Amino acid sequence: MIQRLIEIGEGYSDLYELIEMTKAQKDRVKFLLKLTCELNGSKFCSFGVILNPTSLGEFQPIYYCREGITLKENSVTKREELFEELATNVNKEIVTLQIRHSSSFHEKELFHQYIIGILRLNHLIPPMK
């Protein structure tokens, strides 16, 4: 099975595309993700969606918007509210995981491998075959 992270954007306005794409494929949605991280004292999050593998080719996409949402203490942002509404719409819970910031990796591909490893360790995606 091929599992790949596909970055839609950095999440500020690209989140709207992620939401629409998820609504259009709600039968394939396996999990919704909220990946939180910290950089220089500020907290950020990436929103993502793990789809079930395709029937042909066993390809499992993980679409996400990378670290474009700044989290605020004791308040919920409008984008977090939109993602929570999406979870209700597709009848899925949001899985929240704490991760390292992508800037701690020299290449984006290494960051993607790191995320895939975390998702496998948490049994959110199947192990390599």
pLDDT beyond 80 at 125? yes
For residue 6, being part of any structural domain is answered with yes
Full domain range(s) for residue 56: 2-121
What phi and psi, each to the nearest 5 degrees, are found at residue 10?
Answer: -95, 5
Give the number of domains in the chain.
1
For residue 100, being part of any structural domain is answered with yes
Assign 10 a pLDDT band (cuts: 50, 70, 90): confident
For residue 128, being part of any structural domain is answered with no
Assign 68 a pLDDT band (cuts: 50, 70, 90): confident
**Region 11-21 average pLDDT:** 88
Per-residue exposure over 94-123, b if at least 16 CB sit within 10 Å of its own CB, e if not: ebebebebbeeeeeeeebbebbbebbeeee
pLDDT beyond 90 at 55? no
For residue 127, being part of any structural domain is answered with no
Per-residue exposure over 6-31, b if at least 16 CB sit within 10 Å of its own CB, e if not: ebbebbeebbeebbeebeeeeebbeb
Q: What is the pLDDT of residue 103?
A: 94
Q: What is the pLDDT of residue 11?
A: 66
For residue 24, being part of any structural domain is answered with yes
- First-to-last CA distance in the chain? 7
For residue 129, being part of any structural domain is answered with no
Q: What is the pLDDT of residue 38?
A: 94
**Region 48-55 average pLDDT:** 94
For residue 19, being part of any structural domain is answered with yes
